[in-house]
Structure 1
Amino acid sequence: MRLLYSQKAAPYLFILPFIITFGVFWAFPLGRSIIMSGQNILPNQVENIGLDNYTRLFGDRLFWLAMGNSLRYTALTLLLLIPIPLVLAVLVNSKIGSPKIKAIFKSAMFIPALTSVVVAGIVFRLMFSESSTALMNQIIGVFGVDPVKWLKNDLTGLAALLIVALWRWTGVNMMYFLAGLQSIAIEYYEAARIDGATRWQQFIYVTLPQLKPTIIYVVTISVYGGMAMFLESFMLYGGNKSPQNIGLTIVGYLYRKGVEDNDLGYASAVGVVLLVVILTINLTQLALSGLFRKEAR
């Protein structure tokens, strides 16, 4: 009992749940994956093969295809899911419009994040069906365009995935930006108005610099979310096999090798490389944003 009331022990007791969770659900699985990536795992047989899985991986055409699909998807989601939610957050945070309508709008935008990806994937698969009666084909039919086989072409399949991402994550990112906007002191805008700054100049020279930490955070989680995307593609294509692998992501490839092909050693190597890629992208963008730069005193 004396230990519970010890001022020296109290900080360690408070962080103990995090340390246990981190160790059990992150550090141990990561270490185990690194070890497995150097093994050939068969039923009742484990063979150490060194870097053979990595050598095989870098010569695997399908691996590079899946990695390219994920990188392309991630880059395009960043181009969509940073500026669009930011603009919406600025509009919601402005004094224009009814507060009740804004509250309804915020709720409506956030609801997709609470919706099951499985259910949403089935609905979007029906929307993007190649049938002439599918919703998307009916919409383009209004403009005289013939029905499109959305999920059988590379660009249209990518467009479908991006629309799903916009529908699902725009509201979430908007909430992050809205929280950042509401934390900006009103005195900055008052000083800018006194100096004769227009609304656009206030946005460029006041809003964006003050939102920098929020933007960095949203970019970081968006990179992870884009590279880790799997279930949306899996449900949209009704499985992990799309025409000519146009919907195959790097996590989908990991799932294919580890679960479908039962090649756990090779799948672990894919997972380790994926982790390195995500860390490299995020650490690079954090360095470029000046997060690691010491401020001059």
Structure 2
Amino acid sequence: MYKIKKALNSQKVAPFVFVLPFILSLLIFWAYPLISGIVMSFQNIDFGVKVWVGPAHYLKLAHDKFFRIAVWNSIEYMALTLLLMIPIPLLLAVLMESRLTKAKGVWKVIMYIPALTSVVISGMLFRMMFSEADGSQMNRLLEWFGKAPIAWLKSKPTAWVALLLLCMWRWTGVNILYFLSGLKSIDDVLYEAADIDGASARQKFWYITLPLIKPTTIYVVTISVYAGLAMFLESFMLWNGNSSPKNIGLTIVGYLYKRGIEKNDIGYACAVGVILLIIALAINTIQLVATGTFKKEER
């Protein structure tokens, strides 16, 4: 017992004891499911009976038109959310951090509250708002402008307006807080020096704020790429199920759910999940290399 206590108090052993919970959780809840999913993607699984089929599922995916639709929808959604959820929260964060904004704490709370709302509740609210009924909020808005009611969720352009507004409503406040934390790390002396040199607000934003907030921007882009590709529940709730007109709301995770849960084709669903992982890793690796994240700092 004495030897165990002595070992735990040792400077060489103690660090490993502290990181052991993290290592165990990483192995149990990330590494093991990942490896199991990759292995199952090469198998047919039926009521616990596993049959090795090799790359058959991946060959089938290559000719699966519904999978191609799901991939395109997910990439398109990811790209649109990046165009909306990076510049808009950044500009709002800069505005909130400026001297023009009063009661900054109140605004932070107001902007963050939607993120605390359940996706299920949010999806139901937006489904009712964008309902094709004459009394829905969006159709009432059209009536004020003299337009006829439309079926918002049956056409891709209008349906995606609802989907993107739902995303912005829930996550704009979160990204604002990320950017605010990055802005806090910028020394005010730099802005004071720029004021002395006669720099305009645009020049200070372009030459001071943007370069120094780059690490935060890279982080927000990285998590936004995965969030966009892995979107599922928003679409599921907006269309009240995993079926949308002409598959306009079908995503990669939605297709994974359809094959794995609805059709009990676990092996095929695992193959879909592996492809999702590869796409997310490829896109994030490209953007990290393009932004110079992997470059060694010069000393």
Name the TM-score class by shorter chain. over 0.9
Q: 1:206 to 1:44 in 2, by over 3 A?
A: closer
1:211 alignment counterpart? 213
Structure-2 separation of matches of 1:209 and 1:237: 41
Name the SS of the counterpart of 1:168 in structure 2.
helix
User: Aligned runs of 1:217-236 on 2, under 5 Å?
Assistant: 217-236=219-238
Structure-2 separation of matches of 1:103 and 1:139: 32
2:33 alignment counterpart? 29
Q: Once superposed, what is the RMSD of the aligned Cα atoms?
A: 0.9
Q: Which amino acid aligns with 1:286?
A: L
Structure-2 separation of matches of 1:228 and 1:62: 17
2:176 alignment counterpart? 174
Q: Structure 2 residue aligned with 1:135, among 134, 137, 140?
A: 137
Q: Are residues 1:6 and 2:10 paired?
A: yes
Structure-1 separation of matches of 2:142 and 2:84: 22
> Over residues 95-154 of structure 1, what are the superposed CA-to-partner deviations in whole Å (9 max), with x where a residue is unaligned?
1132x2x22221111001001111111111100100111001111221111111111111
Q: Which amino acid aligns with 1:270?
A: V
User: Aligned runs of 1:48-63 on 2, under 5 Å?
Assistant: 48-63=52-67
Q: Are residues 1:186 and 2:219 paired?
A: no
Name the SS of the counterpart of 1:46 in structure 2.
strand
1:104 alignment counterpart? 106
Q: 1:3 to 1:123 in 2, by over 3 A?
A: same
Q: Which amino acid aligns with 2:74?
A: S
TM-score (norm 1): 0.97
Q: Which runs of 5+ in 2 are unaligned?
A: none
Q: Which amino acid aligns with 1:8?
A: K
User: Aligned runs of 1:79-94 on 2, under 5 Å?
Assistant: 79-94=83-98
Q: Are residues 1:248 and 2:256 paired?
A: no
TM-score (norm 2): 0.97
1:70 alignment counterpart? 74
Q: Which amino acid aligns with 1:234?
A: F
Count of aligned residue pairs for this structure pair: 295
State the percentage of identical aligned residues.
Answer: 56
2:47 alignment counterpart? 43
1:151 alignment counterpart? 153
Name the SS of the counterpart of 2:11 in structure 1.
coil
